[in-house]
Structure 1
Amino acid sequence: MLRKLKHLSQHRGAWLLLAAGVLILQLTALGFQFYLGQKPCVLCVYQRAALAGLLLAALIGAIAPKTPLRFVAIVGWLIAAGKTFSLAWEQTQLQLHPPLFATCDFLPKFPQWLPLNQWFPVIFTPTGNCTDKGWEWLSMTMAQWLVGTSGVLFVIGLLVLAVQLPCPRKNRS
């Protein structure tokens, strides 16, 4: 199975499948915003940015999956999935245990060299509150679903990284 996973990581189709999955997550978030009236908070906006990083990593992996560029993509995958998990976890904690007075920021703090909220204000401008649960399905909020999804993506990324390492040969005596 591990050999199969390594084989898949060296094919463009697997990377494009990852990219398609992340794109579906992004489009779902936008659908909730524009068609269901859910207002994204600053943590939601940061999660979108982290998922955009995961999409970028998947596209980098798809460019040349049989070259060392694949390792750059895997590391990007792990960083983006880990950041998405961390942000979704933080939002979940705010939703489950809302503080009495604290709220989240009203404006995102992106680096000066990457002002996503200025370049794509429709996607990266927060209008909601981090403690609002909004939509739920099977008693779980969108942030809770993203904790699970990004956690699974992180574990898969770890497995993909692990299978890239050469395995020691057993001596046959």
Structure 2
Amino acid sequence: MLLLKNLADNPKAWGGLFLSALVLELAALYFQYGLELLPCIMCIYQRTAVFGIMFSALPAMLINNLFTRIMGFVSWGVSAIWGLFIAIEHVDIQTATNPFFATCEIVPNFPSWAPLHEWLPNIFAATGDCGDINWSLLDMSMPQWMIIVFAIYSAILVVVLSSRMILKRSL
């Protein structure tokens, strides 16, 4: 348990978080450009959440202090939970009994001050349909796998934060 408490103090642990999200982003780009699977708006939002997790690790990885760790924990948590909700909604769209009522937007709804789909269209432009299931592994679609991924990121965050709080009281 002491190892978990001290994990956040180690820049290498934050580097591991950064690297794991980077691998997911590279995999997404491989699926998009290597396998020609077109990302839908929900895929783009999940991709954005993974970028959020990746960039949440950067400050504590480079300068590990209380402020950067708190920033990292907050943005990691927001990104992981938001990504989880988006992935669940995406699965609901894919498994809707009436596909006419299960639709998603065509253009990403990014803030006007950060139109990522205009700045980086090769990464953030949505060109696919949310209801299509063009890929599966072990009978699970990509958004179903992303539910697992975001749940793991959320669970790791809860375990690390809990261990820090529990051991702080006992020491």
TM-score range, shorter chain: over 0.9
Q: How does 1:1-173 map to 2 (within 5 A)?
A: 2-102=1-101, 103-165=103-165, 167-169=168-170
Cα 1:95–1:36 shift into 2, 3 Å? same
- Contact 1:117–1:125, Cα closer than 8 Å, also in 2: yes
Using the TM superposition, give the Cα deviation of residue 75 of structure 1 relative to its aligned residue in structure 2, in angstroms: 1.1
Give the AA of the match of 2:20.
Answer: G
Count of aligned positions: 169
- Normalising to structure 1: TM-score of the pair? 0.92
Q: Distance in 2 between matches of 1:30 and 1:112?
A: 25
Paired-residue identity, %: 34
Runs of 4+ in structure 1 off by over 4 angstroms are none
Q: Distance in 1 between matches of 2:98 and 2:87?
A: 17
Using the TM superposition, give the Cα deviation of residue 98 of structure 1 relative to its aligned residue in structure 2, in angstroms: 4.9
Give the AA of the match of 2:133.
Answer: K
Using the TM superposition, give the Cα deviation of residue 64 of structure 1 relative to its aligned residue in structure 2, in angstroms: 2.5
- Secondary structure, in 3 states, of the residue corresponding to 1:168? helix
Q: Distance in 1 between matches of 2:134 and 2:99?
A: 19
- Contact 2:99–2:131, Cα closer than 8 Å, also in 1: no
Cα 1:169–1:17 shift into 2, 3 Å? closer
Give the AA of the match of 1:125.
Answer: A
Deviations 1:134-168 (A, max 9, x none): 10010001111110011011011111122232533
Q: Distance in 2 between matches of 1:109 and 1:153?
A: 24
Q: Distance in 1 between matches of 2:8 and 2:54?
A: 15
Q: Distance in 2 between matches of 1:138 and 1:168?
A: 43
Q: Which runs of 5+ in 1 are unaligned?
A: none
Q: Distance in 2 between matches of 1:38 and 1:65?
A: 38
- Normalising to structure 2: TM-score of the pair? 0.93
- Secondary structure, in 3 states, of the residue corresponding to 1:94? helix
- Contact 1:16–1:59, Cα closer than 8 Å, also in 2: yes
Q: Which runs of 5+ in 2 are unaligned?
A: none
Greater helix share, 1 or 2? 2
Q: Distance in 2 between matches of 1:55 and 1:131?
A: 27
